[in-house]
Amino acid sequence: MSRTTVATIHLGALRHNLDRIKRMAAPAKVMAVVKADAYGHGLERVARALDGAADAFAVAAQGDGLRLRAAGHRQRIVVLSGPDRASDIPEMQRLQLDAAIHHESQLPWLAEASPTRGPLRVWLKVDSGMHRLGFAPDRVAEIHGQLSRMPGIDPEVGLLTHFSESEEFDGSETAAQIARFNEATEGLSGPRALSNSAGVLGWPDAKGDWVRTGGLLYGLSVVSGKTGADFGFRPAMTLSTRLIAINRVARGERIGYNGTWTCPEDMCVGVAAVGYGDGYPRSAAAGTPVLVGDRRVPIIGRVSMDLVTLDLRNAPDAQVGDRVLLWGPELPVEHIAAQAGTISYDLTCGMTRRVLFVEDES
Ligand SMILES: *Cc1c(COP(=O)(O)O)cnc(C)c1O
C-alpha cells in the first residue's frame, strides 16, 4: 500500500536556526543536539545540512556517534550519556567521541583507558539539582582531579550540567542550579556547558563556553504558550497527508471508535490518511486543528491508527485528494502538542517508519 503521509524536512530552516542560535550564544560555541534521530528529523540528513556550521554534535548514545563518523563527519561529537560499559571506552577512542562522565561506575573503565589510542576527551557532569545524571556538587573537584590525572584521558576535562526547568523564565530553580554549578566548579579548569535551548533563550548568564541546543535547531519551543517562531526560529518539519474520503453524515450520527463525537447537523465528514501508526498523537483531542488547503478545520472523534476524521463544515470546497497539513510553518506543532497534552519534541520524535521523508531547501 502506498502511504500518503509525508514529513518534509526544511534544510534552509535548519541552517537558519543554527545560525540564529550561534548569534544568540556567541561567544559560546554550539553543540547541535541530534539525539533521537535528530528529534525525528533524521540524523544523517540533519548532520549533512549543518556540517561545517555546528562546532560539535551531541548525541545520547555511542551508536549515533558511529553513524555520524560513518557518514564522514569529523567535528567533535559528545555522547551525552557517556559510556555504558568498559568496552565502550576503546570504541569511543577509536571514533574520537567525547564522553560525558556522570557516575562512579564509569571511573574504573576510564582509569584503564589506553594512553596509546589517543586521549579520550571527557565532560564531567554535575548534578546541580535535576537529580538524573551527574555527580553531587561536593564530589566534583575530587572527580575532576582524578579524571585529569588518568593516563588515557585528555587532561582538559569539560564541565556540564543540565537544567530541569529553564523554560520557566520567571522561576527560581534555574538561577539556583547555575549558582550550585558555579560553586561546585569554581577554580577548576576546562570548558563549561550549561544551557539547553530554553537556557539560551531565557538565561544569558548561563552561556558558558558551549551551549547544547536541540529543540531550537528544529524550530521547536518548550516555553509555555510560545512557538519557536515567536523567538525567530523556523519549524524544520512539515507533516502532511491527503483527504481520502468525504462523506455526508446525518445529524445525530456518531463518528469513529466509540462514537465520541456526534454530528450536530447533516454535514460533510472528511477522512485523512494519517493516524497514530504514523506518529500523529492518539491523544489529540477533538477540536485539534488541521489545514485543508488554506482552511483550518477540527479533528472530530478519536484519532485511529491510520486515519483521522475531520469536520469539513468550514471547508465546503474540499475535495478527495486535497492536501491536509498536520503541522508545519502554517500550523505550529507546539499548538498540536498542547492539544495532545505533550510537548513538540515528543511529536517530532514520534514519526514512525511508515512516514515518507522528503527534503526541501526552504
Ligand atoms: C537533550 C539534551 C539537550 C538539548 O535540550 P533542548 O531542550 O532540546 O535544547 C541538552 N543537554 C542534554 C544533557 C540533553 O540531554
Residues marked as catalytic: 35, 257
CATH 3.20.20.10 domain position(s) in the chain: 11-227
User: Which CATH superfamily is 237-360 part of?
Assistant: Lyase, Ornithine Decarboxylase; Chain A, domain 1 (2.40.37.10)
| H-only helix segments in the chain | 11-25, 35-39, 43-50, 62-70, 88-95, 107-111, 140-149, 173-185, 197-202, 333-339, 344-349
For 291-303, how does the pLDDT look when each residue is reduced to its tens digit (9 = 90+)? 999 999 999 999 9
Annotated ligand binding at 130? The verdict is no
pTM beyond 0.85: yes
Residue 224: pLDDT band with limits 50, 70, 90: very high
For 23-74, how does the pLDDT look when each residue is reduced to its tens digit (9 = 90+)? 999 999 999 999 999 999 999 999 999 999 999 999 999 999 999 999 999 9
Q: Which atom of ligand 1 is nearest to the CA of 215?
A: 8
Q: Is residue 269 over pLDDT 70?
A: yes
SS3 content of the chain, % helix, strand, coil (to 5): 35, 25, 45
258-271: string of b/e by CB count within 10 Å (b at 16+)? eeebebeeebbbbb
Strand partners, 325: 240, 291
For 162-208, how does the pLDDT look when each residue is reduced to its tens digit (9 = 90+)? 999 999 999 999 999 999 999 999 999 999 999 999 999 999 999 99
- Give the pLDDT score at 3: 67
- Give the pLDDT score at 151: 96
Residue with cell 517508519: 353
Give phi and psi for 264, each to the nearest 5.
-80, -10
Q: Which residue's CA is the closest to the ligand 1 atom numbered 15? A: 80
CATH 2.40.37.10 domain position(s) in the chain: 237-360
Q: Which atom of ligand 1 is nearest to the CA of 100?
A: 13
For 301-321, how does the pLDDT look when each residue is reduced to its tens digit (9 = 90+)? 999 999 999 999 999 999 999
Residue 4: pLDDT band with limits 50, 70, 90: confident
Residue 278: pLDDT band with limits 50, 70, 90: very high
Q: Is residue 142 over pLDDT 90?
A: yes
- Give the pLDDT score at 1: 46
Q: Is 353 helix (H, G, I), strand (E, B) or coil?
A: coil
Over residues 339-357, mean pLDDT = 97
Q: Is residue 2 over pLDDT 70?
A: no
Tell me the C-alpha distance between 231 and 197, whole Å.
Answer: 11
For 5-23, how does the pLDDT look when each residue is reduced to its tens digit (9 = 90+)? 999 999 999 999 999 999 9
197 in contact with ligand 1, CB cutoff 6 A: yes
- Give the pLDDT score at 234: 98
213 in contact with ligand 1, CB cutoff 6 A: yes
Annotated ligand binding at 305? The verdict is yes
For 225-237, how does the pLDDT look when each residue is reduced to its tens digit (9 = 90+)? 999 999 999 999 9
Q: Which residue's CA is the closest to the ligand 1 atom numbered 12? A: 162
User: Which CATH superfamily is 11-227 part of?
Assistant: Alanine racemase (3.20.20.10)
33 in contact with ligand 1, CB cutoff 6 A: yes
